[in-house]
Structure 1
Amino acid sequence: MVSEPTQHGALVDPPRAPGPRQAAEVFRGIDEDLLRTVLLHLPIGVSVLDRELRFVRVNQRAAEINGLPAEAHVGRHVFDVLPGLPASIGAIVRRVVETGGPEINVDIVGPTPARPESPRWRGSYYPVYTSADHRPVAVAVIFDEVDKSDNPIGVGQLVADRATHLAVLDILIDNAPVGIAVLDTELRYLRVNATLAAWNNRPVAAHIGRSLRDILPDVAPTVEPILAGVAASGQMVRDLEFAHAGRSWSSSYFAVPGPSGRTAALAILVTDITARRRGEQQARRLQRFTAALAQALTVSDVVEAVNDTGARAAGADVAGLAVVTGDGRLTFLTSSVTGREPAVRWLAVDRTADHPVADAHRTGEPAFLSGPQTLLSRYPGLGDAQAQTQDRAWAIVPLHGRGTATGVLTFAFHSEQAFEAEHRHILTSVAGLAGQALARAQLYQREHDTAVRLQRSLLPSRLPHVPGVALAAAYVAGDAAGVGGDFYDVFPTRAPHTPGWVVVIGDVAGRGVDAASVTGLARHTLRVTAAEAPPAEALHHLHQQLTGDPDVDRFVSVACGLLRPHATGATLRLASGGHPPALVRRADGTVEVVTVRGVLLGAVREIVLDERSVDLRRGDSVVLYTDGVIEARGSDGLFGEHRLVDVLAAAPNGSPSELVVRVRAAVTAYQDVPQADDLAILALQLTA
């Protein structure tokens, strides 16, 4: 968390405004602080003793060797802290103070609280001067156990290497691929590397001594409070992202401590993450497009995915899909209103035309037209068309489904494009995904259309004319491929002593050729048996057919009724083989649920089937349906029988066809996913 900024002077001592030369001096002071930090964290012991042999400072390793916390050393005499060491240490320190010369690689033996076994130590002693004193004011001691290192590092070597280390540090900073800046506590630049200077669009020298607000007036209001908080707390702030000059940046902020422990300067590291963020955004767009294509079953679904997410995935403003139609032309498609009807055709191009879409389809090679001049130089006949559009660049990529071009995907851009290699790769990748989805959808569409035609061949081509009765029916194929098992039928009886009409509706479990064969068996069996036998007996006979045939492993739900008109109306005698109950809508609008006991035909060996009679009067209607109606899914679960009852009760008095239309509309409006199952509806109404 960033601390709240405080008043000037509460964070650090007020600095003087530095010029370029003064800024360099300040930065050298910061280098000294960095070197001091390194010494304190070296893996060898470092201690500083004053002239009276009192500890001034120890690093972490020295504290570990001595077996006492660092703060327990400061101000105490060396022999108070380490009474087991030989007295010769005092003589060595006094010689260094008096002569100003170092004592290099002196071995002593003695215990410390952490090492009571008296190991051998090798140390080097160096004088420490200040600019105001000509005599050493302290002695720096570098030591370690001889057994651990035969070549302990001395301060002299460290000091000798300092210039080399700082020169290397300068090279690394100046050539780093990230932006680096050091600011004083007044937020004036002390140092900036070439990378950050280039990003700021100013020379390095133009930064030194100037404030952050002078260099980056748009960024300063955001960054200044962060830097104030870092200076006050000493806590680093990492990986803050911001946008500037059309690019994305990640920045981190550090406090550089001075000799007093207060913040002496502030360091900033900046990374250009524009490419990374654009790549992540591109990946998310491509992922959404892939997900949309994964849900696409039909050509219309693919067109909708291309229109909705394909353009964004390709970084284009508009995307269009053209497929070869029956007339041999390349026809562009757009999404239907609801997405469930076939895609709408709106423009056609002859495959032999002098047109980029036709050329891409003929050659199988993409075309990248970077601007209007490129387009018109190759296709001068498109001048009028180009003048009427706001598009300024185009990419036309053929769609390869199963080895051949099945269509063309066009991308349009409102600004001219360079179409560099990476962009071309993205465009062809999007087209490749769309081509696979289109080929899959076209195959599905062919199979689905074949299944629907086969399914309709199992239904009556038209309903018969029944005196005094109006009839209506509907069959709606689900989105799943393969032939469904829903069927209905109306036919007259053949028995002279039981004149009437048989109404049947049923559903065979499963889909495919096997389901279609059982559908045909069920329908034709009932046409023979139900024309002469009561409904329950006819269903029982169908059950025996199903269980007696070893090649049939499907079960069937069926409702079978015998409608017998009489002088005052009609009687409907119903039997059910595990089918949803019939609904009777009376002329006054009330709805009755007619439940008849029975089990699925073909599911178990022994079954019991009942019959139930319903009296009908003029204006009364009967609605039979398959489970595709009541098992349609929406946000509140299944559509259900209760909703179907409500739909019929709310319907105004009308014909059976109006009831069928109302039920279909209600189911379609309720669904929030494509309809998977087929549904069939059969309605009749007494008109006389």
Structure 2
Amino acid sequence: MRPQLPDTASRRSPTSAGGFRGIDLALLETVLVHLPVAVSVLDADLRFVLVNQRAADINGHTPAEHVGRLVADLLPGIPESIGAVVRRVLATGEPAIDVDIVGPTPARPGAPRWRGSYYPVYGAAAAAPTSVAVIFDEVDSPDAHVGVGELAADRATSLGVLDTLIDNAPVGIAVLDTELRYLRINPILAAWNEKPVAAHLGRRLREVLPNVADLLEGVLNEVATTGRTVRDMEMSYAGNTWLSSYFAVPGASGEIAALAILVTDVTARRRGEGRARRLQRFTAALAQALTVADVVEAVVATGVRAAGADVAGVALLDERGTRIDFLPSTATTGGPPSRWAGVDRDADHPIAEALRTGEAIFYPAVDALVSRYPHLTATRDQTGDRALAVIPLRGRGTATGALTFAFRREQPFDAEHRDVLTAVSGLAGQALARAQLYQREHETAVRLQRSLLPTRLPRIPGVDVAAAYVTGDAAEVGGDFYDVFPVGAGADTEWVAVIGDVAGRGVNAASVTGLARHTLRVTAALAPPAEALRALHERLTADPDVDRFVTVACARLRQRDGAATVDLASGGHPPALVRRADGHVDVISVRGVILGAFPEVRLGQSTVELRPGDTLVLYTDGVIEARGPEGLFGQERLVRLLEDLPGGDPTTVVGRIREEVAAYQRGPQADDLAVLALRLTGERP
């Protein structure tokens, strides 16, 4: 909608001195419509003369509903103090800059704060201002600024509405004729172009801005030809980012008489948005970091970009608290060079100083650093750094290290940049504290888990045995276990191989793991595998303190005349696999349900014959349920892996399974996995 002007009777004649020419009137309407801030013109009685669409939207009335209406009638919630401001501007001819009022409008209930600048508008041949142009918008803090510049106090010429708006708008405004010659330009845009206003007027755009003329001429010629508006075209030039809109200004007969350009400097906004995106990526990287090494990689690879730096390093106090050492990184770029040596905590060094004082240190120019620390001259010369920031790392209140950022160019380190560097350091410090806690808990869990496994596998005459156990990335102990033990003695010795998985993690899972393993050592020595599992089930269900279920595979091996017979039972465990000497793989499925979950269980038992070179493979679901790009690793993939192996050596089998699962899965390993392999050699016991 076009802004409402006074009716034709009150408009100046197009030929009258000081009045609007036809193009000026059209230009005024164009500027009013498209300015990104609210504009109102009030007469001496506080009646609306002009409003643009932004002001109309804020006030909750259409532009037509404003014209001729009193402010008090249309906006009863606005305080009467606005009248005093308008009367003062009319009486003195001086603008009132950044005046705050608080009050609701129909479209903005509550108590919004409005900040406006009031400028005198002179009529034709008038010695005193006849109305006041108000440029205003809503602000959310006392320190905000609408962005309207002050008028020069000694300006000799009177200002019309158009000149008032163009000269004082918080955006760049230029008017060009259809030959792309500058007719008008406001001071803010002239300053952005780094040329005075006079150097623009009458000159073609290509003469003033040769570096961007090719792009702008194409857009402006299209607007001049079609009359189509081009909005919000973004362009980067000379290190800044500009958002521009291009409009056609109609002449008296409706033809396109001129072109208007509105330009907003969005450099700071885009830089802020870029920094926010980089901080978000850094935060996401830290969310995936479990270990201290993971955090260091995140800082070096992602945090360095969030900080706008060229090199980042993480230095932590050692366990004795006497030395600060840089942690190694595998990143090829962005990491600290080897010459960034660690330092003693009491050293005369910026890293040690930041740690001791707990205060960040910023050196916009590295020469100042060398003046303070002359012994770092060689380091400066070797690295080529030109600015340095050192920020203490805090995990749980106290500084435990420092984050260093080096820059190849000198840095002003303004308040916003310092805030970003501090935010990066704070995020890194919290992530390091979590990682250190996780590593301590994880190491404890690993030690506990190992205590639940055999310290070493037995030597079995005529059988090669190997096992692998990989702990998941969770800090708590898992429930996977395996065991191999003899039954009987002498020539009648048989061997039992067990593998199982207790549901859940933590201390309770570990206690059930120990219970299952030791129970099976007793029950499997006295009964066949299926009966041994049944006895374990009864033990689990009879204990009121046990709330976990278990999947178990139990195999009992007897050797005769170079061959072997394996009795196999399963309590809901993944099928066993037998890799034959010729490479074929048999899948051995045995009926049976998980133990400890139901009052009664049905357990079957199968017998498998092994010949020399055959390998029995038992595993937990951490193998087949590892998740990768194609879903679960799965049993079929495991079978193909065994078939493709050149032989069935148990050490090779368990090693390749572990490697292939690790390579396949995406992200950290979620679950523990265990693999147990036994190959019949054919040698007589």
TM range (shorter): 0.7 to 0.9
Please state how far the C-alpha of 1:632 moved relative to its aligned partner.
0.4
Please state how far the C-alpha of 1:319 moved relative to its aligned partner.
1.3
Q: 1:553 aligns with which of 547, 553, 573?
A: 547
1:610 aligns with 2:601: no
C-alpha separation in 1, matches of 2:339 and 2:544: 49
Q: Which residue of 2 aligns with 1:416?
A: 410
Q: 1:395 aligns with which of 389, 399, 414?
A: 389
User: Residue 614 of structure 1: SS of its match in structure 2?
Assistant: strand
Q: 2:673 aligns with which of 663, 675, 679?
A: 679
C-alpha separation in 1, matches of 2:591 and 2:427: 52
Q: Which residue of 2 aligns with 1:241?
A: 234
Q: 1:326 aligns with which of 294, 319, 334?
A: 319
Residues 483-514 of structure 1: CA deviation (Å, up to 9, x unaligned): 10000001111478963111110000000000
Taking structure 1 as reference, are residues 337 and 587 closer, same or farther at Cα in structure 2, changes over 3 Å only? farther
C-alpha separation in 1, matches of 2:125 and 2:371: 70
Taking structure 1 as reference, are residues 213 and 202 closer, same or farther at Cα in structure 2, changes over 3 Å only? same
1:448 aligns with 2:442: yes
Amino acid at match of 1:510: G
User: Residue 564 of structure 1: SS of its match in structure 2?
Assistant: strand
Q: Which residue of 2 aligns with 1:433?
A: 427
Q: Which residue of 1 aligns with 2:179?
A: 186
Residues 111-149 of structure 1: CA deviation (Å, up to 9, x unaligned): xxxxxxxxxxxxxxxxxxxxxxxxxxxxxxxxxxxxxxx
Residues 56-97 of structure 1: CA deviation (Å, up to 9, x unaligned): xxxxxxxxxxxxxxxxxxxxxxxxxxxxxxxxxxxxxxxxxx
User: Residue 586 of structure 2: SS of its match in structure 1?
Assistant: strand
Identity of aligned residues (%): 68
Amino acid at match of 2:181: R
C-alpha separation in 2, matches of 1:35 and 1:227: 19
Contact 2:466–2:650 (CA under 8 A) maintained in structure 1: yes
Amino acid at match of 1:649: E
TM-score (norm 1): 0.75
Contact 1:300–1:336 (CA under 8 A) maintained in structure 2: no
Contact 1:485–1:511 (CA under 8 A) maintained in structure 2: yes
Q: 1:198 aligns with which of 182, 185, 191?
A: 191
Taking structure 1 as reference, are residues 442 and 408 closer, same or farther at Cα in structure 2, changes over 3 Å only? same
C-alpha separation in 2, matches of 1:293 and 1:668: 21
Amino acid at match of 2:447: R
Please state how far the C-alpha of 1:273 moved relative to its aligned partner.
0.8
Taking structure 1 as reference, are residues 619 and 316 closer, same or farther at Cα in structure 2, changes over 3 Å only? same
Q: Which residue of 2 aligns with 1:543?
A: 537
C-alpha separation in 1, matches of 2:170 and 2:489: 96
Please state how far the C-alpha of 1:176 moved relative to its aligned partner.
2.4
User: Residue 482 of structure 1: SS of its match in structure 2?
Assistant: coil
Please state how far the C-alpha of 1:28 moved relative to its aligned partner.
4.5
1:292 aligns with 2:279: no
C-alpha separation in 2, matches of 1:590 and 1:191: 86
Taking structure 1 as reference, are residues 674 and 349 closer, same or farther at Cα in structure 2, changes over 3 Å only? same
- Where in structure 2 are the equivalents of 1:202-601 lying within 5 Å? 202-326=195-319, 328=321, 329-336=323-330, 347-494=341-488, 499-601=493-595
Residues 392-449 of structure 1: CA deviation (Å, up to 9, x unaligned): 1111111111111122111111111121222111101110011111101111111111
C-alpha separation in 1, matches of 2:30 and 2:401: 67
C-alpha separation in 1, matches of 2:602 and 2:250: 93
> What RMSD in Å do the two structures reach over aligned CA positions?
2.5
Please state how far the C-alpha of 1:168 moved relative to its aligned partner.
4.1
Residues 333-361 of structure 1: CA deviation (Å, up to 9, x unaligned): 234589xxxxx999533222222222212
Amino acid at match of 1:594: I
Provide structure 1 residue ranges, at least 5 long, that are not aligned to the other structure.
Answer: 1-23, 39-156, 339-343
Taking structure 1 as reference, are residues 159 and 251 closer, same or farther at Cα in structure 2, changes over 3 Å only? same
Amino acid at match of 2:415: A
User: Residue 262 of structure 2: SS of its match in structure 1?
Assistant: strand
Residues 585-615 of structure 1: CA deviation (Å, up to 9, x unaligned): 1111111111111110001111111111111
Taking structure 1 as reference, are residues 504 and 609 closer, same or farther at Cα in structure 2, changes over 3 Å only? same
C-alpha separation in 1, matches of 2:574 and 2:211: 70
C-alpha separation in 2, matches of 1:277 and 1:627: 49
Residues 637-675 of structure 1: CA deviation (Å, up to 9, x unaligned): 000011111111111125211111111111111112211
Taking structure 1 as reference, are residues 598 and 498 closer, same or farther at Cα in structure 2, changes over 3 Å only? farther
C-alpha separation in 1, matches of 2:641 and 2:524: 31
User: Residue 419 of structure 1: SS of its match in structure 2?
Assistant: coil
User: Residue 270 of structure 1: SS of its match in structure 2?
Assistant: strand
Q: Which residue of 2 aligns with 1:118?
A: none
Please state how far the C-alpha of 1:326 moved relative to its aligned partner.
3.3
C-alpha separation in 2, matches of 1:498 and 1:158: 119
Please state how far the C-alpha of 1:30 moved relative to its aligned partner.
2.4
Contact 1:400–1:406 (CA under 8 A) maintained in structure 2: yes
TM-score (norm 2): 0.75
Taking structure 1 as reference, are residues 337 and 567 closer, same or farther at Cα in structure 2, changes over 3 Å only? farther
User: Aligned residues, how many?
Assistant: 542
Please state how far the C-alpha of 1:267 moved relative to its aligned partner.
1.3
Provide structure 2 residue ranges, at least 5 long, that are not aligned to the other structure.
Answer: 1-16, 32-121, 132-158, 333-337
